[in-house]
Amino acid sequence: MQSNVGFIAGLGSEYLINTHWAAALDISLLSAKHSVRNANPSIQTQYTHTFLEIPIGVKYYLVTKPNRFRPYLLAGLSANMLLGARAEGTYPNVFNNEYNADAGTESFFLESFISTDKSIYRSNFFAGYAGVGTSLWSKNKYSIGIEVRYAHGLQSFLAGNTSNLSFYNRFLTAGIQLQFEP
C-alpha cells in the first residue's frame, strides 16, 4: 500500500497548568489517499478517507519564559470518526474474457468501479500521537508556530474480515499554527 498526500485543518485550544505543562484539545478534519496495487500492475485501487479527529493530550514546553522561540513536545490520544470513504479502481471481469486456444491462455477485460460504501469500515477508532512544535514569531498576544505530529492507529478501521487488507490511521502531519491568547 502506498500513502499519498492529504490535508488536515482544524482548531485547537490549550490550558496552561504551569510554566512547563499544558493540556491540549483539538478538533480537525483529515483527508488522506492510499493506493493499493495488485500483482498485476494494471489492477489498482485508490482509497480516499475523510475523518473527524479529536486529539486530547499534553504539551511540555522546554522553555518556560514566554518569548519568540518556545519549543515543546506533545503526546496524547485521538478519537476518530469516519465521515467519508471512496474507493476507485479497476478489477478483472471474469465473465468477460478471451481464451487463446493456440497459446492456452485466458485474458480478462478490466472494468472500472467507484464505491462510496462505508459499511466495511468502523465508524469510530482510536490513535496515539506524539510530536514537536515551536513558536517562531510572537507579538503582543499573537504568535505563529509550526508543529510536526505522528499519529499511530491502534486498530484497523476496516470492520470484520476483509481478506487480509487493513487500513490504520497512521499519518505524519506538519502544519503552521496561528495562535492567540484571549
Detail the DSSP E strand segments found in the chain: 2-3, 7-16, 21-37, 44-61, 72-100, 105-115, 124-139, 142-153, 171-180
* pLDDT of amino acid 130: 97
Question: The domain that contains 100 carries what CATH number?
Answer: 2.40.160
**Looking at the predicted structure, is the pLDDT value of residue 164 above 70?**
no
pTM: 0.73
Range of the domain at 60: 2-180
Mean pLDDT of all residues in the chain?
79
User: Burial code of 14-51, b = ≥16 C-beta within 10 A, e = fewer?
Assistant: beeeeeeebebebebebebebeeeeeeeeeebebbbbb
pLDDT band at 146 (very low <50, low <70, confident <90, very high): very high
pLDDT band at 27 (very low <50, low <70, confident <90, very high): very high
Number of domains, the chain: 1
Q: Which amino acid type is present at position 58?
A: V
* pLDDT of amino acid 41: 64
- Decide if 23 contacts 14 (C-beta within 8 A): yes
Task: Pick 156 or 145 by higher pLDDT.
Answer: 145
A 10 A CB-CB count for 85 gives 19
Give the model confidence (pLDDT) of 71-122 as tens digits: 999 999 999 888 888 888 877 665 656 655 565 655 666 677 788 877 777 7
Residue reference for cell 512547563: 20
* pLDDT of amino acid 103: 59
Q: How far apart are CA 1 and CA 102, in angstroms?
A: 37
**Looking at the predicted structure, is the pLDDT value of residue 39 above 60?**
yes
